Structure 1
Amino acid sequence: MDRRARIHAALGDPVRLRIVDSLQTSDASPTELAGMLNVPSNLFAHHVQALVSAGVVSRHHSEGDGRRTYLHLEQDALESLGTASPVAVPRRVLFVCTGNSARSHLAAALWRQNSAIPAVSAGTHPADRINPATVDAAARHDLDLPIVEPRQMDDVLDPDDLVITVCDRAHETPKVPGELHWSIPDPVDKGPEAFDAAYTQLEHRIKALASRFDS
């Protein structure tokens, strides 16, 4: 009860509600989000701290530009406070990471498992092949993962795609207008536990987003 009260108190401001609404589907840096919401940086920092203190929002450093931080909405903190509104249905979802060898392939496969909306994946700098540890992770979780060659984003992108970057470096390259960003740590060369952690984060986010689309 005390935790719920703290969350409700943290949400009791229009600016904070706008921050939460913006983070429902996409992580963002404070600079990106403050500019998007047209809120002065000092006031924005105050509101972010209130949300962080209540456990509604977390922040961590980018794996690309280490000077940058990303804000992430802790969905679990909001589960008891109501369901998010549905959003418009895209024709297709395109998941993007740097090499298109791990996170984006897992994300596309998980999406296909949870939604009838088509999904594909691509990279900003494609690797030669899917990382073998990605295949192993999919097998551990009984996930149907097609073994295909990594592809360049520009060769796959359709103007009607909903683009979701699942890699900080991909997000920090020249962007696709309207993209969503999920700041998922790179599991490559970090062992099975890192891949399982990435899988769990992707699964949670995909289920949450897929449930928001109109049927």
Structure 2
Amino acid sequence: MDAEFSSVQRRARIHAALGDPARLAIVDTLTLGDASPGEIARALQLPTNLVAHHVNVLDDAGLLERGRSEGDRRRTYLRLRPDVLASLVPPPLRDVSRVVFVCTHNSARSQLAAALWSHRAAGIPAASAGTHPAARVNPRAVAVARRHGLVINATGTAHVADVVTEADLVVAVCDNAHEDLTDGVRPRLHWSVPAPEDTDAAFEAIFADLAARIDRLAPALHPAAAQRAGADHD
């Protein structure tokens, strides 16, 4: 917990350093190449003393490195540290063996999320379930999946009690499921994806919403050690 809090404090310090428009402009200037403080001052049309102040703030936050010119040792060049910017991303969730998407009826949102995950996120399997599962998957969910090259079993609904284990990362993809899962199973993540209206356009919209969320989540998950070992032997 102390390590996590220390990481949050460090990220907060970096965010604070980036919270000034001039400092953010300096970081943008250094994203693709190095520059001297004088060059930055000219590029951004800022006084050199103000650039020096902002550079010191960015340096104190660990965002920059300074190096002497090989041609003129009096000149200093600034280099951005991409690894520090990368540290602004929240820490990954480790040892995830499976992701289970849950909604109320397991007939649309959770089914689409599991199909999308299986298609886009290699290395960690996915499943879906419902708190009050319907007998069949919504035909519009099957259709929108098919339009995007995915396959959903129209009769493959299930109850959370028959699917979820303690080792799963549970993602509630609707508010009702999130609020229902208070006993035994508690979702570690909640996506407030609204129930779609009964139109193709509405189902396309939730498909796009779920796809964008999955693309953000997948890089933040690290598979369990056994899965990593299995992948190494493939």
TM-score bracket, shorter-length normalisation: 0.5 to 0.7
Query: Aligned partners of 1:110, 1:206: CA distance in 2, in Å?
Result: 8
* 2:192 aligned with 1:186: no
Q: Following TM superposition, where does structure 1 have runs of at least 4 consecutive aligned residues deviating by more than 2 angstroms?
A: 8-13, 79-87, 144-149, 174-179
Residue pair 2:101, 2:127 contacting (<8 A) in 1 also: yes
- 1:48-97 deviation line (CA, Å, top 9, x unaligned): xxxxxxxxxxxxxxxxxxxxxxxxxxxxxxx9995443221311111000
Q: Is the 8 A contact 1:133 1:188 kept in 2?
A: no
Query: In 2, Cα distance between the equivalents of 1:201 and 1:86?
Result: 22
Query: Structure 1 residue 11: deviation in Å?
Result: 9.9
CA shift for structure 1 position 177: 3.0
Could you tell me how far apart the structure 2 residues matched to 1:137 and 1:162 are?
25
Corresponding residue to 1:136 among 140, 143, 150: 143
Provide the TM-score with structure 1 as the length reference.
0.59
Name the stretch that deviates more: 141-150 or 108-117: 141-150
The equivalent residue for 1:88 is 94
Could you tell me whether the CA contact under 8 Å between 2:102 and 2:130 is conserved in 1? Answer: yes
**Is 1:147 the equivalent of 2:138?**
no
Which ranges in structure 1 are unaligned for 5 or more consecutive residues? 1-7, 14-78
* Structure 2 residue runs without a partner (length 5+): 1-13, 20-84, 224-234
Retained in 2: the 8 A contact 1:102–1:188? no
Distance in 2 separating the partners of 1:188 and 1:149: 22
Q: Which moved more, 1:175-184 or 1:106-115?
A: 175-184
Aligned partner of 1:202 in structure 2 is 210
Change (3 A) 1:82 1:154: same
Kept in 1, the 8 Å contact 2:139–2:154? The answer is no
- Cα distance in 2 for partners of 1:11, 1:127 equals 51
C-alpha separation between the residues in 1 aligned to 2:138 and 2:213? 22
C-alpha distance in structure 2 between counterparts of 1:212 and 1:108, whole Å? 17
Partner of 1:32: none
Larger RCO (alpha carbons 8 Å, 6+ apart): 1
Matches within 5 A, 1:61-140: 83-115=89-121, 116-140=123-147
The answer to whether the Cα contact below 8 Å between 2:117 and 2:214 also exists between their aligned partners in 1 is yes
Using a 3 Å threshold, how does the CA distance of structure 1 residues 204 and 11 change in structure 2: closer, same or farther?
farther
| Paired positions, count | 142
The TM-score, its normalising length taken from structure 2, stands at 0.54
Identity %: 45
